[in-house]
Amino acid sequence: MQGLRLGTRGSPLALAQARKVAAAIETSQRWPDGWVQIIEIKTTGDKVKDKPLADIGGKALWTKELDRALMEGEVDFCVHSMKDIESVRPSEIHIAAVRPRGDVRDRIIGASSIDELKQGAMVGTSSPRRKAQLLRIRPDLKIVPLRGNVGTRLKKVEAGEIDATLLSAAGLKRLDIAAGTAIPTEILLPAPGQAVIAIECRTNDTRTQSVLTTVNNQITYDCVRAERVFTRTLGATCHSPVAAFCAFEDGDLRLRGQLFSEDGGEMVEERVVFDCGEDQPAEELARSLLAKAPESIRRLFGA
């Protein structure tokens, strides 16, 4: 039997995640090292680094070239950071598996905490969520756009071009980088899908699906499914400051969601507890938040 071809972006983090998935599949199938071939695919999101993602096409900039390679048979499956995958996907593409979730927290680089940032500190981020959350806590901060891979962002802090930035704790760990201080989720709720590695294949490719399901973590899959149903119901885009985190506790799924105005001045939040596999509670949570949100928040969502 021929080995599988794995499509991935070429950033250091994307390659680290691809290698983890390849190794897990080879172990589960008792295949030799290298049986899963990693194929790098350049994406528009990697090529255009001087503009916020939301201004140049959104999350599709990370996925469209990989989707094309998958649909044209150049690769058998693709590995993504789940938070980079649009909440509505083509019917021809199936999220076949996810790996166990990593540390969902954000880490602050350049200070020991948000409170410790100097007055008017310049913080680099192109995430509407992080911008709104930071300004809600510290309205004095100056938020400036920041794109590029993890190394690029760290260097901008080291060079003093910005005072601080926020990075995913899971991403730093996967790169074996010890930097910054983790911020509790009660202070900064993560992005939907944060810290989860997703594995997609063609919907009609049952052979590849059967292989990928052997490395699936079902609890993580159920939690992320709820987060994605929540964001899809909201009509959230890359311009939408939304945070959501679903965890499995005491036999139930517990989903917490937050919506913000652009400047973080207004925020609505609710939580819901429900059974695995149910979509309706996540949908109802999204509708409830939109119903009670002020216009400054509602206008940022397409639902």
H or E element, residue 182: strand 181-183
- Report the alpha-carbon distance of residue 97 to residue 198 in Å, rounded: 6
Phi, psi for 55 (deg, rounded to 5): -90, -10
User: At 80, is the secondary structure helix, strand, or coil?
Assistant: strand
Sign (positive or negative) of CA dihedral 205, 208, 212, 218: positive
Q: Identity (one letter) of the amino acid at 289?
A: L
**Pairing mode, if any, of strands 37-40 and 5-8?**
parallel
In the set 84, 106, 163, 205, the catalytic residue is 84
Torsion of CA 268, 258, 261, 280, to 10 degrees: -80
Residue 25 token pair: 């599949």
C-beta separation of 200 from 216 below 8 A: no
Give the closest residue to 103 by CA, choosing from 214, 20, 197, 205: 197
84 catalytic residue (yes or no): yes
Task: Tell me how far CA of residue 146 lies from CA of 50, 154, 161, in angstroms.
Answer: 8, 11, 11
The DSSP symbol for 267 reads E
- Report the alpha-carbon distance of residue 274 to residue 142 in Å, rounded: 39
Catalytically active residues, by annotation? 84
